[in-house]
Amino acid sequence: MKSIYAIILGGTLILLTALPAAAVNRVEVEGIAFERTVMANGTPMELQGYGLLRYMVFIKAYVGALYLPPSAAAGDVLKPVAKRLELQYFHAIKKEEFANATRIKIADNVSAEQARRLGSLIDQLASMYRDVRPGDRYGLTFIPGRGTELALNDTVLGVVPGNDFARAIFSVWLGQNPIDVDFRDVLLGAR
């Protein structure tokens, strides 16, 4: 049986389509709505992609949506451009499990030297995590010149500075070694 790490960050992806035209300003995945456009620190962003991640085929882990400014292409997602990732959970998860999984997946996506250099920033993010209950939604937003903001249910928990940190944390879902390649691709709008 897979560990909680797999539930938090990995699984089997099930792709769903948007609702019919009645949901003009939103899309739904498993009954959970995501706006088509959001504002982040004064920056307008558009929905790039969204989907459902399943664990062990039958267990829903979470749904997610990625937002980018209209001027940004999916290929720019790990560059220092504004971006927002929202993840809404179906299961309770302890903050320590988020912190551990984050460290592991960042290490999978950056060099050992870069992981070492980013260690204090990773610790800063880890200290912001809170336990989540089913229905809770984390938002991870990068604004150039400001940093990466972590919010839980629209309550800002803190901001971590730096472009290198932003690239590392977003690579957990969108990098070369993401939690799930299919989930990365659907977030980027490739599927």
CATH of residue 151: 3.50.70.10
Is 105 a residue whose pLDDT tops 90?
Answer: yes
Mean pLDDT (the chain, rounded): 88
Q: Which two tokens stand for residue 185?
A: 């691709």
φ and ψ of 105, to 5 deg: -75, -30
For residue 76, how many other CB atoms are within 10 A of its CB?
13
pLDDT digit string (tens) for 13-58?
444 444 444 457 999 999 999 999 999 888 899 999 999 988 777 7
With cut-offs at 50, 70 and 90, classify the pLDDT of residue 79. Answer: very high
Give the residue-averaged pLDDT of 91-115.
96
Q: Residue 108 belongs to what domain range?
A: 4-187
User: Which stretches of 95-180 are DSSP H helices?
Assistant: 95-109, 112-117, 119-128, 163-174
User: How many domains are contained in the chain?
Assistant: 1
The crossing angle, in degrees rounded to 10, of helices 95-109 and 163-174 is 100
CA distance 67 to 21: 20
Is beta strand 137-143 parallel, antiparallel or unpaired with respect to 83-89? antiparallel
Q: What's the mean pLDDT in 166-177? A: 97
Identify the CA nearest to 136 among candidates 55, 29, 63: 63
Share of the chain above pLDDT 70, in %: 87
pTM: 0.86
Q: Which residues fall within 8 angstroms of residue 139, CB to CB, at 6 or more apart?
A: 84, 85, 86, 149, 150, 151, 152, 154
Q: Is pLDDT at 107 greater than 60 in this prediction?
A: yes
